[in-house]
């Protein structure tokens, strides 16, 4: 659901409110990379996209900041670092604060 709604800052802000913290768990991550097929199924070519990638493509800086805050607070695991491998420079280019992310 977050991958679909990441194009809208208000949706992400509402979904990631602390009042819903009882539903958040590090055992079941909310943010991950989705495998998406590229072209016809005969070619077997894929690419991976996360909610962060979608938010960055739509210039939703606030949504990305909310996602990073959530990841630092509830999904603080080395596996989550793979979400930022290809888009870390884009985060810096857009002026998104990544200090908490680097300290986690």
pLDDT at residue number 1: 61
Q: Please give the Cα distance from 52 to 19 (Å, whole number).
A: 22
CB-CB contact of 8 with 63 (8 Å): yes
pLDDT at residue number 4: 64
**43 contacts: CB under 8 Å, gap ≥ 6:** none
CB-based burial of residue 72 (10 Å sphere; 0-12 exposed, 13-18 middle, 19+ buried)? Answer: middle
Dihedral angle, C-alpha 64, 66, 67, 70, nearest 10 °: 160
Per-residue model confidence as pLDDT tens for the chain (104 residues): 666 667 677 888 888 888 888 888 777 777 878 888 887 877 788 888 888 888 898 888 999 999 899 888 888 888 788 888 889 999 999 999 888 888 87
- When divided into structural domains, the chain yields a total of 1
Q: Could you tell me the residue range of the domain that residue 63 belongs to?
A: 2-103
pLDDT at residue number 65: 92
| pTM metric for this prediction | 0.80
């Amino acid at each position: 659901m977050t991958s679909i709604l990441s194009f809208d800052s208000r949706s992400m802000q509402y979904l990631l409110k602390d009042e819903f913290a009882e539903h958040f768990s590090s055992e079941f991550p909310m943010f991950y990379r989705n495998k998406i097929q590229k072209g016809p199924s005969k070619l077997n070519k894929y690419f991976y996209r996360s909610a962060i990638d979608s938010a960055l493509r739509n210039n939703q800086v606030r949504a990305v900041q909310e996602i990073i805050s959530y990841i630092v607070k509830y999904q603080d695991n080395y596996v989550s670092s793979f979400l930022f491998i290809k888009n870390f420079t884009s985060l810096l280019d857009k002026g998104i604060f990544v200090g908490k992310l680097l300290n986690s």
